[in-house]
Amino acid sequence: MSRQTQAIIHADALLHNFKQLAAAAPASQSMAVVKADAYGHGAVNVARILQHVSSRFAVAIIEEAIALRDAGITAPIVVLEGAHQAKECQMAYQHNCILVMHSKAQLAWLEACPADRRPHIWLKVDSGMHRLGFALDDVAQIVTTYRHLLSDETVIATHFACADDVDNEFTERQLSAFERVVLPLNLPLSLANSPATVNWQASHGRWNRLGLGVYGGKVSTQALTDITLLPAMTLRASILAVRDVPQGEGVGYGQTWTAEKPSRIATVGIGYADGYPRHCPNGTPVMVKGQRASLVGRVSMDMITIDVTHIPKVEIGDMVELWGEHVSIDEVAQCAGTIDYELMTRVSQRVPRIVKYL
Ligand SMILES: Cc1ncc(COP(=O)(O)O)c(C=O)c1O
């Protein structure tokens, strides 16, 4: 039998989360962001599951959109980084993708396309994050100059830097700077990611772009609403060895953990090559037989070791939850000094995604 290391993808949780977030913004339309292989959940699977509730999808790059087309997904796809090269304008047209334009170079590539073979576009505005987008002062002029490239699909979009932090006033500043410039243009807007959808009602535009929340990640520093998001991924692996380690003995590479008392140590078939973070320290929680246990010793490439001294009858083949319903991915991310976005997207291709439908 092969190794039992799996990412279980919960179709019901994806649907529940999308619907909850969409319902929080009833005047908007919502699209699922499925870039980076749907935050590690499997873009084709996720798009198939959500295609009846999400009438558009968003990806980062055109290759991600084409992979969805190859799998038979037909909804329009917004490409958030737009074109990296001129030829992508034609690819976007052929594949019914909407390019998010953030530079004059991209608009020039689009202008060079035959007028009847141009993809729809959005315009991206830099309202303060300073990553991508036209400067606020240039937006009105860009809209005037390139009006012939706009269509009834065109949306003016921006992105927030701090929307998960409800105490951070920067979101209000971005919002008002953006609105001051774009409201007079009288075009549809798209501002909110999932944190903004939950935390900043004033940011709800024509389209909200829902990523992390769809996957059950933590979207707010405070519980502002009664929205409950469910983890869409359970990362689990089985125990492949159990041993008694005498007091005073070290475990794993570098012997970073030493048994303070006689201990029972289980070896689990998952490591950093699977996407379990090497930075997880001693004490990072896992779940075995309905009880919490702790990671002990360094994370190896293919294995970890956990202390199961307090859990009776742990055996080879028992399943261990690394994150999911009982151990939140956010808790593990905090242990590893990172964020849930990174943990989700780093689950490697070696880990089969098993979609569970209820
Ligand atoms: C431009 C843009 N919009 C929307 C999203 C989705 O954000 P979130 O995952 O926080 O909902 C992202 C994700 O990084 C993004 O880059």
* Residue pair 209/58 in contact by the 8 Å Cβ criterion: yes
Measured between alpha carbons, how far is 171 from 55 in angstroms, rounded to an integer?
27
* Residue pair 21/198 in contact by the 8 Å Cβ criterion: yes
Test site for ligand 1: of 14, 39, 193, most ligand atoms within 8 A of the Cβ: 193
Classified as helix, coil or strand, 56 is coil
Helices (H), the chain: 11-23, 35-39, 43-50, 62-70, 87-94, 104-111, 139-145, 170-182, 194-199, 329-336, 340-346
Tokens of 318: 């028992």
Domain holding 46: CATH number? Answer: 3.20.20.10
Same domain, residue pair 197 and 247 = no
- Ligand 1 neighbour 159 (Cβ under 6 A): yes
Same domain, residue pair 241 and 182 = no
Same domain, residue pair 147 and 100 = yes
Same domain, residue pair 156 and 54 = yes
**Beta-strand relationship, 156-157 and 233-245:** unpaired
* Cα of 242 from ligand 1 centre, angstroms: 42
Same domain, residue pair 237 and 200 = no
Same domain, residue pair 45 and 185 = yes
In a domain? residue 205: yes
In a domain? residue 6: no
Domain, as residue range, for 40: 11-214
- Ligand 1 neighbour 194 (Cβ under 6 A): yes
- Ligand 1 neighbour 210 (Cβ under 6 A): yes
List C-alpha distances in Å: 100 to 80, 211, 248, 319. 5, 17, 59, 44
In a domain? residue 2: no
Same domain, residue pair 75 and 191 = yes
- Digits of tens for pLDDT over the chain (358 positions)? 589 999 999 999 999 999 999 999 999 999 999 999 999 999 999 999 999 999 999 999 999 999 999 999 999 999 999 999 999 999 999 999 999 999 999 999 999 999 999 999 999 999 999 999 999 999 999 999 999 999 999 999 999 999 999 999 999 999 999 999 999 999 999 999 999 999 999 999 999 999 999 999 999 988 777 899 999 999 999 999 999 999 999 999 999 999 999 999 999 999 999 999 999 999 999 999 999 999 999 999 999 999 999 999 999 999 999 999 999 999 999 999 999 999 999 999 999 999 999 7
Q: How far is CA 201 from the centre of its chain?
A: 21
Query: For this structure, is 124 an active site residue?
Result: no
Same domain, residue pair 209 and 239 = no
- Residue owning the nearest CA to atom 13 of ligand 1: 211
Active-site hit among 19, 35, 124, 356? 35
**Beta-strand relationship, 319-323 and 285-288:** antiparallel
Q: Please state whether the predicted TM-score (pTM) of the whole model is above 0.85.
A: yes
In a domain? residue 248: yes
Same domain, residue pair 37 and 73 = yes
Same domain, residue pair 89 and 168 = yes
Same domain, residue pair 61 and 171 = yes
Quote the number of domains for the chain: 2
In a domain? residue 325: yes
* Cα of 60 from ligand 1 centre, angstroms: 9
In a domain? residue 241: yes
Active-site hit among 39, 218, 253, 313? 253
Residue 124 alpha carbon, nearest atom of ligand 1: 1
- Residue owning the nearest CA to atom 8 of ligand 1: 211
* Cα of 284 from ligand 1 centre, angstroms: 28
- Ligand 1 neighbour 80 (Cβ under 6 A): yes
Test site for ligand 1: of 80, 81, 227, most ligand atoms within 8 A of the Cβ: 80
- Ligand 1 neighbour 209 (Cβ under 6 A): yes
Same domain, residue pair 183 and 68 = yes
Measured between alpha carbons, how far is 42 from 172 in angstroms, rounded to an integer?
34
Query: For this structure, is 19 an active site residue?
Result: no
**Beta-strand relationship, 121-126 and 156-157:** parallel
* Cα of 58 from ligand 1 centre, angstroms: 9
- Ligand 1 neighbour 212 (Cβ under 6 A): yes
